[in-house]
Amino acid sequence: MSSPYATKPPSAQQTLDLFRGKWASRMPVRLGVVEAGEAALFEDPRVDWAVTNLAKLGYRLADCTVLEVGPLEGGHTYGLMRAGARSVTAVEAHPEAFLKCLVLKELLAMERVNFLYGDAISFLRSIGHTYDVGFASGFLYHMANPVEALELLCLRTRALFLWTVYWDGAFNGAHPDRPAGSGVVAKAEHSGFRHTLHRHDYGEHLDYGSFWGGPESFSNWLEKDEILGALSHFGFSRQIVELESNPNGSALRLVATRP
């Protein structure tokens, strides 16, 4: 049996190699030339967009506590810290993704970050306090009950950044090879908000060794107007919204708060 012990001096690459071949993210230039993943999450312009537009709503990040749900490998967390967030609490449910976040916290000295291992929805249900800003990127479309997720985020934060793909019949018609949220359609109601759920089955992509979605084998997607409507229903009617294209479906980014 070979020894698991390191035999070389500490280095960023040696530390990243604890999860060799499993990284989704390309590492920031601060770590030098290292091998990891390809996704540019540590240099994501969505963070800058969120910071700029939250300021338009009166939320200067340097004055804010941030709750991030689903940090994956800490790329957006790092961006929030670089933008000056007073503190970030980031809740991650996937055990390997959580450990990767801890690795990057050490390598990048993210001192004002607290990564928590657990289910974000259960966390939001259980706490009795609020954060200044919620940050939910790539999170909503992995939820089985997305309207509850929006309700809880509105309840536990004062302002919200959201990036998500949404159900769009036009997108599915134009891309029949990769239909998004094209499963069973069901009418639903949550806390007085009526909406339509479009089931999205992960199918053959559900491999927890390389899958970073939600805890279920499926999720439910919302239509764009229902995402905006749900936020308004739960009090976050002051919104700045931008639509964008995405290979996996039509997408939007927004910031929202109460009037």
Residues 214 and 126 sit within 8 Å (Cβ to Cβ): no
Q: Which two tokens stand for residue 176?
A: 């029949």
Between 146-156 and 224-233, two packed helices, what is the crossing angle to 10 degrees? Answer: 40
To the question of pTM greater than 0.75 for the whole model, the response is yes
| Whole-angstrom distance, CA of residue 82 vs CA of residue 149 | 27
Quick count: other Cβ atoms within 10 Å of Cβ 34?
18
CA distance 139 to 212: 10
Q: Contact, 195 vs 155, CB < 8 A?
A: no
Per-residue pLDDT of the chain (259 residues; tens, 9 = 90+): 888 899 999 999 999 999 999 999 999 999 999 999 999 999 999 999 999 999 999 999 999 999 999 999 999 999 999 999 999 999 999 999 999 999 999 999 999 999 999 999 999 999 999 999 999 999 999 999 999 999 999 999 999 999 999 999 888 888 877 767 678 899 999 999 999 999 988 866 555 555 567 777 889 999 999 999 999 999 999 999 999 988 888 999 999 999 9
CB atoms within 10 A of CB 62: 9
Predicted pLDDT at 11: 97
Tokens of 201: 């089955």
Q: Which domains, from first to last, does the chain contain?
A: 41-257 (3.40.50.150)
Q: Can you give the pLDDT at residue 172?
A: 84
Question: What pLDDT is stored for residue 2 in this prediction?
Answer: 83
SS3 187: strand
- Can you tell me the distance from the alpha carbon of 68 to that of 129, in angstroms, rounded to the nearest whole number? 15
- Contact between 68 and 88 (Cβ < 8 Å): yes
Number of neighbours of residue 231 by Cβ within 10 angstroms:
25
